[in-house]
Amino acid sequence: ESVLTQSPGTLSLSPGERATLSCRASEYFSSSYLAWYQQKPGQAPRLLIYGASNRATGIPDRFSGSGSGPDFTLTISRLEPEDFAVYYCHQYGSSPYTFGQGTKLEIK
């Protein structure tokens, strides 16, 4: 099982700042199988990035993904108020298709 470890657990930043979220995999898999999701309270997750670096339809270009196994990064270039949420990485490279434990991005 590929365990995904996200860091930090909580990130406190202000609107306009840059956010860098990390996801490290315990086992190698192709970057094509790495996705990032955003989840707000009471809502379903929303796909942001697939294939480690491809923005999903309708996702603003302030969101970008990078990296290759085992280290992946989600960057939000200039935080908007609506970006404060929990972010999860997810791998579809080897079953079980695990999620990271999440990074909570909170307003400082």
Partner 1 sequence: QVQLQESGPGLVKPSQTLSLTCTVSGGSISSGGHYWSWVRQVPGKGLEWIGVFYYSENTSYNPSLKSRVTMFVDRSRNQFSLRLTSVTAADTAVYFCARVTVIPKDYYYYMDVWGKGTTVTVS
Where along the sequence are the contacts to partner 1 (CB under 8 A)?
A: 1, 30, 32-33, 35, 37, 39, 43-47, 50-51, 54, 56-57, 88, 90, 92, 95-102
Smallest separation, CB 52 to partner 1 (Å): 10
CB 98 within 8 A of CB 4: yes
Neighbouring C-beta atoms of residue 37, cutoff 10 Å: 22
Cβ proximity to partner 1: between 15 and 41 the closer is 41
85 neighbors 63 (Cβ within 8 angstroms): no
Q: Which is nearer to partner 1, 16 or 96 (CB)?
A: 96
